[in-house]
């Protein structure tokens, strides 16, 4: 298993401190960030025959919607947006 793979232990450790009644969403595709609902947890062999946990999305709600921008920014999938500098310019009326 590559060192970068998250394990069940890692996932449980991260989730243990959270409110157990909060909904879970899966963030997918950094180029078009979407949120997906989870439906099931499965254990099966990966392509190399190693046991692996798979989280499946809800087939009845394939895409829950766009990923909220603060989440995409926290994942470094989008750059943070800075507020405009200084006051906004006002448009002047133009005489015909």
| pLDDT tens for each residue of 55-92 | 888 777 666 788 888 999 998 888 887 766 767 667 67
What is the pLDDT at residue 47? 92
- Residue 49 backbone phi and psi in degrees, to 5: 85, 5
Q: What's the Cα-to-Cα distance from 48 to each of 1, 8, 10, 42, 51, rounded to whole Å?
A: 10, 18, 22, 17, 9
* Alpha carbons 26 and 74: distance in angstroms, whole number: 14
For the cut 70, the answer to whether the pLDDT of residue 5 exceeds it is yes
Is the model more confident about 50 or about 85? 50
Contact 19, 7 (CB under 8 A): no
For the cut 60, the answer to whether the pLDDT of residue 2 exceeds it is no
Q: Where are the domains of the chain?
A: 24-80
pTM over 0.85: no
65 — alpha (psi -120 to 50), left (phi > 0) or beta? Answer: left
Task: Please count the helices (runs of H) and the strands (runs of E) in the chain.
Answer: 2, 4
For the cut 80, the answer to whether the pLDDT of residue 95 exceeds it is no
* Alpha carbons 35 and 65: distance in angstroms, whole number: 5
What is the pLDDT at residue 62? 60
């Amino acid at each position: 298993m590559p060192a970068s793979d998250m394990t069940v232990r890692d996932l449980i450790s991260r989730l243990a401190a959270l409110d157990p009644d909060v909904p879970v969403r899966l963030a997918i595709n950094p180029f078009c960030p979407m949120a997906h609902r989870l439906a099931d947890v499965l254990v099966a062999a990966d392509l190399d025959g190693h046991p692996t946990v798979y989280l499946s999305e809800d087939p009845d709600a394939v895409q829950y919607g766009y990923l909220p921008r603060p989440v995409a920014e926290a994942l470094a999938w989008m750059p943070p947006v800075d507020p405009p500098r200084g006051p906004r310019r006002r448009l002047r009326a133009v005489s015909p």
